[in-house]
Amino acid sequence: MGAIKFSDLPSLSNHHVDLVRMTDENIADTISQWLVLERESQGSFFTSVCWLKHFVSTSQTPPYLARIFGAGQLTGLAFVFFRQKKFIKQAWINRSGDPREDQVWLEYNQVLTTEDPRTQLAILSDYLCRVHSVDEINIGTSTKAQLMNHQSNVWSKVLWQAKGYSCTLDASKSNLSGLLSHFSKNTRSQIKRSIKLLNGMGNVSLRRASQVDEALMAFEEAGKLHKLKWQDKSGFVNPFFQTFHVQLIKGAFPHNIDFWILRVGETDCAYVYNFIYRKTAYFYLAGFQTFSDNKIKIGLVSHVLIMLEYARLGFTCYDFMAGDDRYKKSLSDKVDEQFIVSYRVKNGFNLVRYFYSKIKTQAVNFCRGVHFSKQNRIK
C-alpha cells in the first residue's frame, strides 16, 4: 500500500508518532498534555481542550490520541477516529466521521502544534498510512494554512468548502457611529432603520447570560426558533447535538461560552450563542424571532450590538465563521475559505475511485451543459 513518504518530506525524518487509545484511566493525563501544548500553540477554540474533551467524552466512536515528537519534544497532538466504510479504512482528525456526531461542526481544524500544522498533518498522515494501513485521511473544516501541501503519494479531494467571514475589533468600533462607519451605506441604512422600527415596538436592550442556568435556557429557546427556520436541517433535531452542547455549556460557561439575549419591550426576540477564546468571539448559532415587517433585520441589529460590547471588552475579532450568508459579508472586513478534505492514498482501489469520480463529474457536467443548451434553444 502506498503512503506519504518521508522522501517527500526530507526535513522531517527526525519526527515520530505514537497512538494511544483513550480510556477513563488516561483521560486526565491527556488533558494535562493538551493544556501544556495548547498554551504554546496558535490554535483556535475548536482545537482547545475545552471543545475536544467534551466531543471525545460524548462521542460513541472510540478515539485515539496521536502524539507527534520531534527532537525528543512533543510537537503535535490530535485525536484520531477510525472508521471502516465498506473496503475503505478511514481516519478522521478531531472528527468522528459519523455525520450525526460531526453536525456539531468544528472549524479551524488542525493538528495542535507548536510548529507548522501542515507539516505536522503530513507526518501524522504518513504514520497512519504506513503503520495502520489507512486508505484515506479526512480533516476539516480547515483553512489552507492548516491543510497539507501537495504530496506525491496521495490525491486530495475537497468534500466541502465555503467562505468564512470575520470583523476586526478595536476601540474605534466600541461606539455605534464608529462601528457603522466601517459598513456600506446600504448596511448602515438597514441597521439604523431596523433599530428605529424596533424602538417603536418597545425598549431595545441586550443582556449577557450571567448564570449557567440562564445560558441553558437561552440554548433551549434558541433551539425552538432555530427549528422553526431550518426544520429538519437544524442541529436541534439531533439528540447528539443537543447532548454535546448541554455538556459544553455546563463545563465551559462562562469562560468560553457566551449567550446574548436581545429584548424588545417585554419580549426576548433573539438568542446568540458564541464561543470566546483568546480575544476572539466565534459566532456559532442563533435563534431569531421573525417579524411581519421584512424591513426589520433582527439578525443585523443583534450582531452589531454584540460586536459593540466585545469591542468595549477589548476583543480583537468577531468571527462569523464559515457560511456564505449576506449578513456575514455585510458586517465583515476579512474573508477566508474553509474546506473538508479527504487525502486518499494512491493504491489500486483508490485509483479506481479517483477515475470513477472524475468520469462521473465530467458526465454530470456534460449533461448539465446539454440541458442548459436545450433550455436556451427553447427560450
For the entire predicted model, the pTM comes to 0.90
179 and 70 share one domain: no
Q: What is the CATH number of the domain that holds 58?
A: 3.40.630
Place of cell 433582527: 298
Q: Which pLDDT score, from 0 to 100, does residue 87 have?
A: 87
- pLDDT at position 10 is 38
Average pLDDT for 86-113: 96
Q: What nine digits make up the cell of 14?
A: 527526525
Question: pLDDT tens-digit profile of 324-351?
Answer: 899 999 999 999 999 999 999 987 666 6
- Both 133 and 187 in a single domain? no
The answer to whether 78 touches 111, Cβ cutoff 8 Å, is: yes
Q: Is residue 367 part of a domain?
A: no
Instruction: Give pLDDT tens digits for 217-262.
Output: 999 999 999 999 999 999 999 999 999 999 999 999 999 999 999 9
158 with 220, same domain? no
Instruction: Give the pLDDT of residue 34.
Output: 97
pLDDT band of 133, cuts 50, 70, 90: very high
Q: What angle do CA 96, 99, 101 make, to 5 degrees?
A: 55
pLDDT for the residue 3: 39
Mean pLDDT score of the chain: 91
Domain that includes residue 72, residue range = 6-164+338-346
Q: What is the pLDDT of residue 149?
A: 79
- Identify the band that residue 14 occupies on the pLDDT scale cut at 50, 70 and 90: confident
Same domain, 37 and 113: yes
Q: What is the CA radius of gyration of the chain?
A: 23
Q: According to the model, what pLDDT value does residue 182 have?
A: 96
Identify whether residues 175 and 66 lie together within a single domain: no
Number of domains comprising the chain? 2
Residues 211 and 303 in one domain: yes
CATH at residue 231:
3.40.630.30
Residues 92 and 110 in one domain: yes
Q: Would you state the cell numbers that stand for residue 219, as one nine-digit string?
A: 440554548
- Report whether 280 contacts 91 (CB < 8 A): no
